[in-house]
Structure 1
Amino acid sequence: MNTASKSTDAPLKGVRVIEMGQLIAGPFAGKTLGDFGADVIKIEAPDGGDPLRNWRMIKEGTSVWWQVQSRNKRSLALDLRSSEGQDIARKLVAEADVLIENFRPGTLEGWGMGWDVLSQLNPGLVMLRISGYGQTGPYRDLPGFGMIGEAMGGLRHLTGEPGRVPVRCGVSIGDTLAALHGVIGILTALYHRKVNGGQGQVIDVALHEAVFNVMESLIPEYSAFGAVREPGGSALPGIAPSNAYPCRDGVVLVAGNGDSIFKRLMHAIGRPDLADAPDLANNAGRVARVDEIDGAIGAWTATRGVVEVLDALSQARVPAGKVYTARDIAEDPHYRARDMILKQATRDGYEVDVPGIVPKLMGTPGGIRSAAPHLGEDTDAVLREVGLGAEQIAVLRARGIVA
């Protein structure tokens, strides 16, 4: 793919992952493991595969989102609702290190693939289960998507302008947070397995809990003070100044909330009176006068262009930045210098820019080893690995069990 992304010493080389489920949360976890060398076998329904293949913008018959979400994976088109398909899945899991699934709780149990069964087949199995509300509790059986998790986790209440309907952040952040927590759990469980006798375990990730885990002081403030945090628009309530300020040709974000940074910021905008005010020397005093401070910064930015503002604040060593669009990201030299945009060849014959690998391991970096597969492209190869011959595969294909 991109020479900077190839590594012969991938840190998860030799780890086999079976990915079940579809769309975002489970597959994003699989994608992350695949980026670092795991052999990820994605099981898809023969009749259409993962719906993400057809989400958002389509090129050459496939979503470009799919190209990044399913890179470094192999596709096995297998009907998990059939007894034959379930038998094959159990054979795969018996030889795997990790199983990822994001079905509604109870689905795998109904297919004869609950933890009680799979752990007997493979005592070292690490099983990530992502669901709306977790595998236990009174809401366990309710359907849950990422947006519901964001709402229950407390995030949606804080997104938007005060007094207006909450808005989503623009991406499926609830699903992605659940996936990342799942990856943390997988890596932790694999380490535990290595140093504690080879025993696997279940990782139970609920979408709303993954969101809730990043909600900072939300609950401690309610517990200690009875305070219900409310939406603050572009500001960071309780920390000042930290806001978005309009310029002649756009908007800049300014984080001047450090004590020394605030002084430099005020001098940069020509307000030494505020810089030297004794009551503004700490955050508590600045919060009390936040409207005045925001007004002063906004008055200064309003008469200047974005580039001029950023240049001035950079010279003053004040954290500031513009609001990036996709075009800004694609054209930014820093993204390119750090290999955060890579050129990926697709199986459909064109190249597309995709996000690079995060995090960056200096000794054993991740990489893009293979493009996202066509539906069932690796079916025969995977089935041969579990001992099926050509005639057996042909029979399964004729019956629609595999494709």
Structure 2
Amino acid sequence: MSIASSPGALAGIRVIEMGQLLAGPFCGQLLGDMGADVIKLEPPGAGDPMRLWGMGDEKVQWEVIARNKRSVTCNLRIPEGQELARKLIANADVLVENFKPGTLERWGLSPEELHKINPGLIIARMSGYGQDGPYSDRAGFGGIGEAMGGWRYVVGEPDRPPARMGISIGDTLCATYGTMGILAALHHRARTGEGQVVDTALYEAVLQVMEGLVPEYDYNGFIRERSGSILPGIAPSNVYSCKDGPFMIGANNDRIFGRLAEAMEMPQLADDPKYATHLARGVNQTELDLLINAWTGTLTIDEVDALMIKHSIPAGRVYTAKDMLEDPHFKAREAIIEVETEGHGKLKMQNAFPRMSKSPSGVRRVAPTSPGQHNAEVLEEVLGMAEAELGELAAAGAI
């Protein structure tokens, strides 16, 4: 795969990314994929702990989350590092940070101080509980946001404790909403010239995707419980067992269910009072799922898939990464690309998303291999620093 040729929709926007682990860096990844110049500040030495994250013997998650970024080391815990950050931020459009609330203020980098030197600056702050409120000074990770935002309680089997997804969804949701806020703030700045603070809390980001969970309780006194692989009352919509593995079928619409009944060679099901309507199927959900599972168990995944396509029924295979890499649709849409990385050679990873017709996003720069890899390049380009000044910063422990 060649490096993307399009500059991206956010070309010309400079982002300073501060903070570590997932929420702030994922926000930086999204902005960088869209063309922003993302300058990542890492602590001197080991850098961002994300460099060591991932599964398997070789840790490659960094290659995704740090793509389209330049690494500059900056010791934010000493005055010299704080002053360096202040100078970089003065020349930026966006600051992304995910420190515990109050940290920037202790470093003399509060929004009030930063807006004095850069009135148009957009400051995206990501934290467990937000910048105010009685819990704001508590430490927070994505999993805690998932728990307090309502996600964990409804995930898992009803007779077992709350479960989790195998990814850090709380962090990435927070980062995605943070990115949305940044884009809106850029539009506001284009009209008014004003910068502002985008305050994104992990638990509130999770809360946003919880559908009717709150009003259902407020109006009906109904509390959603764990329901395993189904949504109660939405049937059939489940993962069913074929001879050679699982397969997902979603046929909860009346007309689609009629087509599923035809595919199963049981057309009478569509007229059976127990299954003929959405409400009836919800009441008899368990019985219906057992009936469908008995049918899929007589067929292979390929055979069920062919029938679903023939009868125009929403359905899909339950993919692993291996399946994705072999799928022709993923290939045709370039959902997964191959990048020639500096640290791990050719590496397949998810492409930039969403797709844009006039200003495509993409990978223009591979992840930096070492903290501070772009110190000289960035500090000369942005601040006009000479080699001697870089030496002084290094001697002071700032970079």
Q: TM-score range by the shorter chain?
A: over 0.9
Distance 1:387 1:35 in 2: 26
The aligned residue for residue 6 of structure 2 is 8
Q: 2:180 aligns with which of 161, 170, 184?
A: 184
What is the Cα-based RMSD across aligned positions, in Å? 1.4
Q: Provide Cα deviations, 1:7-33, integer angstroms capped at 9, x if missing partner.
A: 334210000000000111000000011
Q: Is the 8 A contact 2:80 2:396 kept in 1?
A: no
Distance 2:286 2:307 in 1: 22
The CA deviation string for residues 279-298 of structure 1, in whole angstroms up to 9 with x for no partner, is 63331121112122112211
Unaligned runs of 5+ in 2: none
From the superposition, tell whether residues 112 and 33 of structure 1 become closer, same or farther in structure 2 (CA, over 3 Å): same
3-state SS in 2 of match to 1:232: coil
Q: List aligned pairs for 1:15-34, cutoff 5 A.
A: 15-34=13-32
Residue 75 of structure 1 corresponds to 71
Count of matched residue pairs: 397
* 1:186-265 paired onto structure 2 within 5 Å: 186-195=182-191, 197-265=192-260
Query: Is 1:386 paired with 2:383?
Result: yes
| 3-state DSSP of counterpart to 1:63 | coil
User: What do the CA deviations read for 1:357-384 (whole angstroms, capped 9, x no partner)?
Assistant: 1100011101111110121011112222
Scaled by the length of structure 2, the TM-score of the pair is 0.97
Deviations 1:105-155 (A, max 9, x none): 000000000111011111100110000000011110111000000011111
**Counterpart code for 1:74:** R
Alpha-carbon shift at residue 231 of structure 1 (Å): 1.0
Q: Aligned pair 1:398/2:365, yes or no?
A: no
What does residue range 312-331 of structure 1 map to in structure 2 within 5 Å? 312-331=307-326
Which position in structure 1 is the counterpart of 2:271?
A: 276
Q: Deviation at 1:399?
A: 2.8
What letter is aligned with 2:184?
T
Equivalent residue letter for 2:301: V
User: In the alignment, what sits opposite 2:165?
Assistant: 169
Between 292-301 and 146-155, report the one with greater CA deviation: 292-301
Contact 1:313 1:320 survives alignment (8 Å): yes
Equivalent position to 1:88, from 84, 89, 92 = 84
Q: Aligned partners of 2:267, 2:273: CA distance in 1, in Å?
A: 12
Could you tell which deviates more after superposition, 40-49 or 160-169? 160-169
User: In 2, distance between residues paired with 1:348 and 1:213?
Assistant: 37
Task: Specify the alignment match of 2:355 in structure 1.
Answer: 360
Give 5+ residue unaligned stretches, structure 1: none
Give the secondary-structure state (helix, strand or coil) at the position aligned to 1:252: strand
Between 45-54 and 383-392, the greater mean CA deviation after superposition: 383-392
Answer whether contact 1:7 1:364 (CA < 8 A) is retained.
Answer: no
Give the Å deviation of 1:268: 1.1
Of the three residues 36, 39, 53, the one matched with 1:38 is: 36
Instruction: Give the Cα separation in 1 of the matches to 2:344 and 2:255.
Output: 54
Name the CA shift for 1:321/1:8 in 2 (closer, same or farther; >3 Å).
closer
Which segment drifts farther, 46-55 or 267-276?
267-276
One-letter amino acid of the structure 1 residue matched with residue 69 of structure 2: K
Equivalent residue, structure 1, for 2:115: 119
Match of 1:350 in 2: 345
**Is this contact kept in 2: 1:52–1:63, CA < 8 A?**
no
TM-score, normalised to structure 1, is: 0.96
Shift of 1:98: 0.3
1:7–1:366 Cα contact (<8 Å) kept = no
| Letter matched to residue 118 of structure 1 | L
SS of corresponding position for 2:108: coil
Question: Retained in 1: the 8 A contact 2:240–2:293?
Answer: yes
> Quick one: distance in 1 between partners of 2:159 and 2:375?
53
Amino acid at match of 2:190: K
Q: Percent identity?
A: 50
Distance 1:281 1:9 in 2: 53
Letter of the 1:146 counterpart: G
Distance 1:349 1:311 in 2: 39
Alignment of 1:300 with 2:295, yes or no, is yes
Separation in 2 of the partners of 1:288 and 1:350? Answer: 54
Moved over 2 A (4+): 56-59, 277-282
* CA displacement at 1:57 relative to structure 2: 4.2
Aligned position for 2:54: 56
In the alignment, residue 398 of structure 2 is paired with which amino acid? I
Task: State which drifts further: 16-25 or 244-253.
Answer: 244-253
